[in-house]
Amino acid sequence: MNEPTHTTAQVREQPDPPMNAHDVRPAVPASEARNSNTAISPQAGCATCGAAAGMTVKPSFVYAIGRVEARFPNLAVEKEFVQATGRSDTVGKTDQQTFHAVLSERNHRYLVRQLCWVLTIQGLDTYLLVPRDPADIDLLVEAIRPAPSPNDIDVVIGMRGAIAPPEMCNGLMVPIVAFDQIYSFDRDALIKAIPKPEKAKAEQFGPAAEELFQRIMQMTDNAGATDDHRALNYLAMRYPGIYARAAEEFAKDCSLSGVEVRPSPLSGTRNLVEVIFAYTNRSTDFTEKYFVRVDVTEEFPFLVTKLGPYYDR
């Protein structure tokens, strides 16, 4: 399958990957929030902030996988949200359903612009999110799930800028990411949407795909900001070939013994990396490697070479 066709789940916006509405955990009251304070302006953050005059600074791109949260920046916004809630029909709704319902109303969109939007990765506050285009504020609203699940995942693609000043979100000093796209999906839906190889049994393919996905997500310090991690996250979201290979290798009594990313010797004017998957037979201890080549030159990575055998040089 060609790389751009990996539809891991129902995508909210065609073309692109498998996702729809994004998740946001319930807003944290100002009295409890670690992060809050000023509204995030739509145009905050830039990839070249702090560059010396006359110097060219390479843009820093982000392709991150985590969870989006909305937090009240200060007590005034929290109280305004309470008043807005009083004007909405929230009878019988949970707190999260109420939060979703209030912010989804067009006349309450001003509240969306006032909130702090934080991407957490493996439970750690990692980025403050702002839309590169003010019209994309809707992507944040769609990130709120009325019934969140532990399996909910958000993918953020954008450019990393300067560290947020303390007053921006109640002392939270993490990089600002001006995003161009956000996708949200459920992990189970992602696994089910991956095309299953003809020879693979459904009861074997699902666990194999889920294990590989989990291994990629747990790789040390994967904040989706380095070329290595952007390539891995892109493959996890958009390329079903790696899941098909994992299922086939597990069926041959092999275990996934390593995942490595190396600069490609074919890199020239383009920035290419090779992602190598190693599988070791549990009986013979023989290791086979397969690799895929990814272009990470610009903001949106793409596949250069499909998965094939890899031979150590």
Please, are residues 294 and 231 in contact by the beta-carbon 8 Å criterion?
yes
CA-to-CA separations, 129 to 84, 113, 140, 258, in angstroms, rounded = 24, 11, 9, 32
Residue among 112, 154, 158 at smallest CA distance from 132: 158
| Domain extent listing, the chain | 3-188, 195-309
Q: Choose the most confident range, by mean pLDDT, from 31-40, 194-203, 241-250, 274-283.
A: 274-283
Task: State the pTM of this model.
Answer: 0.77
DSSP state of 6: -
Q: What is the dihedral of CA 128, 134, 139, 142, to 10 degrees?
A: 100
pLDDT, tens only, 52-102? 445 556 789 999 999 999 988 888 888 999 999 888 888 888 988 898 889
**Of 4-8, 214-218, 226-230, 264-268, where does the model show the most confidence?**
226-230
Helix, coil or strand: residue 88:
coil
The arrangement of strands across the sheet holding 272-281 comes to 254-263, 272-281, 287-295, 302-309
| Beta-strand pair 175-186/124-131 | parallel
What's the confidence (pLDDT) of residue 5? Answer: 42
The one-letter amino acid at 142:
E
C-alpha span between 43 and 220 (Å, rounded): 31
As a whole number of angstroms, the distance between CA 246 and CA 254 comes to 9
What is the per-residue pLDDT for 203? 74
> Which residues share a beta bridge with 290?
277, 309
Residue type, 224: G
